[in-house]
Chain A
Amino acid sequence: MFYLIQLLNAVQYGLLLFLLSSGLTLIFGIMGVINLAHGSFYMIGAYLAYWLAKTTGSLWFALPFAVLIAFGIGLLLETTIFSRLYKRDHLYQVLLTFGLILIFEELRSIAFGDDVHGVAVPALLNFSIPLTDTLSYPVYRLFVTLVCLVIAGLMYFVIHKTRTGMKIRAGNSNREMAAALGVNMPLLFALVFASGVALAAFAGAIAAPISSVFPGMGNHILIICFVVVVIGGIGSINGALIASLAVGLADTLGKVIAAEYSAIAVYLVMAVILLWRPQGIANRA
């Protein structure tokens, strides 16, 4: 039973990582931009959920509004800043998005202070399923897992079965060719970028009741997402899914076996993958 709980936690964490890293990997695959500020969008989502849940009194209102606001922020950032970065060297992309992190962190500090805040689980889902006499599993975590699965399914559908998805795949495999064939690339870029931001913010918002909201929460998750992208291979959604689950599992197992060293387990998985397939599991050399 204990291991069932750990497995459920691993899957939930892995799917949450997938929401973040799929946006990161698509933004890189299509626009060629390495975005360090992706973790900040996760943080923004969490703080929006905290703030909206506090003012409206319910997480159910907070979630859609947080996603909408994040989508707007994404569009704004893409048109004003990121669209100027596409042709620049990675070095400048790193530097600029590093600058954005500093700005978002400080704005967060000005607006919300530096304390840790909790977000209440909605009353509807605020109970646990008893598994044995002493162990039980909170329903909200199951709900998060389910929602992430639905979103992953929706993403699969959009990317593989719709016209927009076809354009995204075309842009991912060959940007110039897709543009030459008449795909409106600036529009596609804006759409993909804003969707990536919205997904990251949604992940932050839905995880807020579990992890609570705190300063620097975006940075840790960003680096874990980088690990996911390195393992999965850049631009690959399937790779991101497999790698997210692997990292979720490694992290949870690490915590069970040796709590102090749990953070290292994830990086060891990455080291092995780099030795075995430096281009990621889903990409061919």
Chain B
Amino acid sequence: MPNITLTRVPLIVALVLLVLFPLVSSTFYLQLGAKIMIMAIFALSLDLLVGHAGMVSLGHAAYFGVAAYALALISPKYEAANLWLTLPAAIAAAAVAALVIGALVVRTAGVYFIMATLAFAQMIYAVFHDTKIAGGSDGIYITVRPDLGIAGFKPLNLENPSEFYYLALISLAVVFWFLNRLLHAPFGRALAGIRTNEQRMRSIGYPVFAYKLAAFVLAGALAGLAGYLAACQFGFVNPDILAWHQSGIVLMMIILGGMGRLHGAVIGAFAYIFLQEIFSAPALVGVYAKHWQLLMGALILAIVLLLPHGIGGFVDIAVRRHRYRHPGVARDQP
């Protein structure tokens, strides 16, 4: 019992700090904070697949991008779209894309799955890049941010950076809470079982394909939420947001933070964007700022070769060693 409340302390502290952040922050850091939280939602959605269902998708940016494009395409040109209509529509668009692609790729496993998810994501990229249905390679602008008004009551004005920040924070908190509940529910336990031993789950009688497809669609829908918010924030959508670099980056985030832990995905999103800011700051890295991807690539190599369990795993191992040396402290449950 005290164990449960203890593990929640850091989470509550983090939440309080995030709520208070706009009181002390400048606009620049507010926007950066919102961007990090949006990427954290995106990373959480992928962690559901990779960390909890054992499905390594390399095309997850597709669903992020489909929702972003959905908002851009259904928004009226010079006035605000209604968030309560466009958000479900955008998430539904991402979910449908994930359902169609998922029905094909979930039939495969392992390295086929990686290649097939990447290839289908690239197909969606090609659709938006090569055809004129959504502005081609130039992309489209969303001139006015969606409106939260419902029956005359307007809780947040998204044109205001601090209010947009709160929308991102609320979304992140809801997604985090939802995934936490889901993973402790029978559905989440079944996914964990499938990740560990798919054959055995099938022989027990679980409809493994349906479970995996459901996880794939759900992850796509949550990525869609992140994509919708990103499109709101930048007011601009182009094919780059669903290119496979984006999929690689979000995969890197969850590995940075340590897979299979929800807080790991959030920490990873923060760490990645923090590092990207450092690597692209001329004041810190000089001439390499223009070539920040070189430093990022070198960092990826170092992490994979030297820290096999990510930053989060590194901390876990340090904590375990500490407990080993100080056996008086409470241990993990078996």
Chain A residues contacting B244 (CB-CB under 8 Å) are 219, 223
Q: Which residue of B lies closest to A274 (CB)?
A: B104
Given the contacts A95-B304, A260-B130, A263-B126, A100 and B297 also touching, CB distance less than 8 Å: yes
In the complex, are the beta carbons of B56 and A94 less than 8 A apart?
yes
Chain B residues contacting A267 (CB-CB under 8 Å) are 119-120, 122-123, 126
Partner of A98 from B50, B126, B248, B259 at Cβ < 8 Å: B248
Partner-binding segment picked from A117-125, A148-156, A224-232: A224-232
Report which residue of A105, A219, A261, A274 has the largest number of chain B beta carbons within 10 angstroms of its beta carbon: A274
In the complex, are the beta carbons of B294 and A102 less than 8 A apart?
yes
Q: Which residue of B lies closest to A260 (CB)?
A: B131
Measured in the bound complex, the distance between the Cα atoms of B122 and A40 in whole Å is 17
Given the contacts A91-B56, A230-B119, A267-B119, A261 and B130 also touching, CB distance less than 8 Å: yes
Which A264-285 residues have C-beta < 8 A from chain B? 264, 267, 270-271, 274-275, 278-280
Which A106-130 residues have C-beta < 8 A from chain B? 106-107, 109-110
Measured in the bound complex, the distance between the Cα atoms of B305 and A81 in whole Å is 8
Q: Which residue of A lies closest to B121 (CB)?
A: A223
Q: How far is the CB of B283 from chain A (nearest CB, A)?
A: 20
Residue B315, interface by CB 8 Å: no
In the complex, are the beta carbons of B115 and A95 less than 8 A apart?
no
Measured in the bound complex, the distance between the Cα atoms of B104 and A230 in whole Å is 12
Measured in the bound complex, the distance between the Cα atoms of B138 and A249 in whole Å is 29
Give the A-B contact count at a CB cut-off of 8 A. 127
Measured in the bound complex, the distance between the Cα atoms of B291 and A84 in whole Å is 27
Measured in the bound complex, the distance between the Cα atoms of B300 and A94 in whole Å is 11
Measured in the bound complex, the distance between the Cα atoms of B125 and A223 in whole Å is 12
Measured in the bound complex, the distance between the Cα atoms of B298 and A102 in whole Å is 9
In the complex, are the beta carbons of B251 and A95 less than 8 A apart?
yes
Given the contacts A96-B300, A98-B300, A106 and B293 also touching, CB distance less than 8 Å: yes
Residue B87, interface by CB 8 Å: no
Residue A99, interface by CB 8 Å: yes
Measured in the bound complex, the distance between the Cα atoms of B301 and A99 in whole Å is 6
Given the contacts A230-B112, A230-B115, A274 and B105 also touching, CB distance less than 8 Å: yes
Q: Which residue of B lies closest to A24 (CB)?
A: B115
Residue A256, interface by CB 8 Å: no
Residue B76, interface by CB 8 Å: no
Residue B255, interface by CB 8 Å: yes
Given the contacts A260-B130, A275-B104, A96 and B115 also touching, CB distance less than 8 Å: no
Chain A residues contacting B34 (CB-CB under 8 Å) are none
Chain B residues contacting A92 (CB-CB under 8 Å) are 255, 304, 308
Residue B296, interface by CB 8 Å: yes
In the complex, are the beta carbons of B111 and A234 less than 8 A apart?
yes
Partner of A96 from B50, B111, B304 at Cβ < 8 Å: B304
Measured in the bound complex, the distance between the Cα atoms of B113 and A226 in whole Å is 11
Residue A28, interface by CB 8 Å: yes
Residue A53, interface by CB 8 Å: no
Measured in the bound complex, the distance between the Cα atoms of B111 and A100 in whole Å is 19
Given the contacts A101-B297, A223-B122, A263 and B130 also touching, CB distance less than 8 Å: yes
Q: Which residue of B lies closest to A92 (CB)?
A: B304
In the complex, are the beta carbons of B107 and A264 less than 8 A apart?
no
Residue A194, interface by CB 8 Å: no
Chain A residues contacting B152 (CB-CB under 8 Å) are none
Given the contacts A106-B291, A260-B132, A94 and B251 also touching, CB distance less than 8 Å: yes
Measured in the bound complex, the distance between the Cα atoms of B296 and A84 in whole Å is 20
Measured in the bound complex, the distance between the Cα atoms of B296 and A271 in whole Å is 34
Residue A54, interface by CB 8 Å: no
Which B275-305 residues have C-beta < 8 A from chain A? 291, 293-294, 296-301, 303-305
In the complex, are the beta carbons of A264 and B123 less than 8 A apart?
yes
Given the contacts A96-B301, A223-B118, A110 and B291 also touching, CB distance less than 8 Å: yes
Residue A90, interface by CB 8 Å: yes
19 A/B residue pairs, CB under 8 Å, sorted by A:
A34-B115, A95-B251, A95-B300, A96-B301, A99-B301, A100-B297, A102-B294, A102-B296, A103-B297, A103-B301, A106-B297, A227-B115, A230-B119, A234-B111, A261-B130, A264-B127, A270-B119, A275-B104, A279-B112
Known: A92-B308, A98-B248, A219-B244. 5 other contacts (CB 8 A): A90-B114, A91-B56, A230-B112, A267-B123, A267-B126
Binding site for B on A (CB under 8 A): 28, 34, 81, 84-85, 88, 90-92, 94-96, 98-103, 105-107, 109-110, 219, 223, 226-227, 229-230, 234, 260-264, 267, 270-271, 274-275, 278-280
Binding site for A on B (CB under 8 A): 50, 56, 58, 104-105, 107-108, 110-112, 114-116, 118-120, 122-123, 126-127, 129-132, 244, 248, 251-252, 255, 259, 291, 293-294, 296-301, 303-305, 308
